[in-house]
Amino acid sequence: MSSKYHSPNMDRRSFVKIVTSILGTTMAAIVGLPMIQFFISPALNKATGDDWISLGPLENYPLDIPTPFSFNLTRVNGWERSSQSYGAFVLRQSGTDVIVFSDVCTHLSCRVSWDADQDSFFCPCHAAFFGKYGEVISGPPPRPLDRYETKMEEGQLLIHFQEG
Amino acid sequence: MAQSIFTWLDERLGLTEIYDTILDRKVPKVNWWFTLGSASLFLGLLQGITGMMLSVYYVPTPDHAYDSITYIMTGVQFGWLIRGLHHWGASLLILTAFLHLLRVFFYGAYKYPREFTWFTGVFLMIGALGMGFTGYLLPWNQRSYWATTVGSEIAGTVPVVGDFILRVLRGGTDLSAVTLSRFFAMHIWILPAVIIATVCAHLYLVIRLGISNIPDRDS
């Protein structure tokens, strides 16, 4: 072997090792990093919704009894366009004084229902009870039921649906 | 004749050696609790085989998932059997694997030099739970839908990164077609690939290091 091709610093074997690891790492990164992005990308588009939903005339709702109302919104997830159902409870206190609760349990997002016998909202998933004003009576929820922002327009009750 | 064919093959493939290493290895005097690892392996194989069968008819989309399972249960001959084995086998596997974990723990079998056997085993336990979590959504019925809602919300309670984890799990803010299809991918491709590799490592270590004695009063 001619010595003119010999480096004093590195033999052929270590050179090949280094080049192989650099090439290998580069190839793995070229394929691997986009794969991470590929997998998580649907999570990066935050759904945004901002709508005033009409719940009809306030007179439709009885005084002092939480009354359910449901509405549908069209949602796009990935390739799927679907109609999703949302629920609310209207508690009309007096005249125009009204509270609208979201029916989403503040614990882990199951849906609550109004239990007239117990005079409370009940979540079946982990046996949580909320009082008429949404306050936690018992069970695991960390905070009272969420409330929608409301307004009256031409005799109609509207709630502000926001997401994101 | 058969003997000479076997000898010819054995000389080239080392069959006797494989048999001796894997099945004729020396084991201490043990009891029935030591069968739980093999039981878990058997159930895991059963899950794999019945799962492949189910994928012949199952379709992971909101429009068809529930109906395709109804078809498996009512329209396909022995569909009830294959799905029943997969359904009950899943719970039984969690049970045997967990009892296996407890046996190893209480016999102190995780100690030197078997720490890595324990690590891979704990990893497999988590993998099995992951299979349970992702498989539970696939029937796309009310129970799966709400169980996954609650399950992903639990992941969402992690401080700081919780909301991100929740959205990665769901593939967006809502539980949707995207969620179903990524849970399916996790269930039949990604987790099985990871689990098979880890089972190989686990078995390699069990065979290489052997299994430990039942601890006695002196140890």
Predicted confidence (pLDDT) per residue in B37-95, tens digit: 999 999 999 999 999 999 999 999 999 999 999 999 999 999 999 999 999 999 999 99
Q: Does residue B141 form part of some domain?
A: yes
Q: Does residue B22 form part of some domain?
A: no
* B34 and B211 Cβ atoms separated by less than 8 Å: yes
What is the structure's pLDDT at A2? Answer: 55
What distance in Å separates the CA atoms of residue A81 and residue B174, rounded to the nearest whole number? 12
Q: Which amino acid is at B97?
A: A
Query: Which CATH number characterizes residue B152's domain?
Result: 1.20.810.10
- Nearest residue, CB atoms, A46 vs list B149, B173, B178: B173
Sign of CA dihedral A35, A39, A42, A46: negative
Q: Does residue B67 form part of some domain?
A: yes
Q: How far is B41 from chain A (nearest CA, A)?
A: 30
Residue B177 has phi, psi (to 5 degrees) of -55, -35
Q: Which residues of B touch A75 (CB under 8 A)?
A: 174, 176
Tokens 């009272």 map to which residue? A144
Tokens found for residue A117:
């016998």
Tokens found for residue B78:
């022995």
pLDDT at B137 over 60: yes
Cβ <8 Å between B164 and A43: yes
Q: How far is B197 from chain A (nearest CA, A)?
A: 19
What is the structure's pLDDT at A10? Answer: 86
Q: Which residues of B touch A82 (CB under 8 A)?
A: 62, 176-177
A110: left (phi over 0), alpha (psi -120 to 50) or beta: beta
Cβ <8 Å between B173 and A163: yes
- Nearest residue, CB atoms, A84 vs list B174, B178, B179: B174
What is the structure's pLDDT at A49? Answer: 77
Domain ranges, residue B106? 33-209
Interface of A with B (CB under 8 A): 39-40, 42-47, 75, 77-80, 82, 84, 108-110, 125, 163-164
Question: A49-163, which class in CATH?
Answer: mainly beta
pTM given for the model: 0.91
Q: Is the ipTM of this complex over 0.90?
A: no
Helix (H, G, I), strand (E, B) or coil at A105: coil
A56: left (phi over 0), alpha (psi -120 to 50) or beta: left
Q: How far is B166 from chain A (nearest CA, A)?
A: 8
What is the structure's pLDDT at A72? Answer: 93
Q: Does residue B9 form part of some domain?
A: no
Domain total in chain B: 1
Q: What is the DSSP string of A8-56?
A: SS--HHHHHHHHHHHHHHHHHHHHHHHHHHHHHHHHHS---EEEEEEEE
- Nearest residue, CB atoms, B149 vs list A42, A79, A110: A110
Spell out the per-residue pLDDT of chain A, length 164, in tens.
Answer: 556 777 788 889 999 999 999 999 999 999 999 999 999 999 988 777 788 999 999 888 999 999 999 999 988 888 999 898 999 999 998 877 899 999 999 999 999 999 999 999 999 999 999 999 999 999 999 999 999 999 999 889 999 998 75
What distance in Å separates the CA atoms of residue B154 and residue B134, rounded to the nearest whole number? 15
Q: Does residue B108 form part of some domain?
A: yes
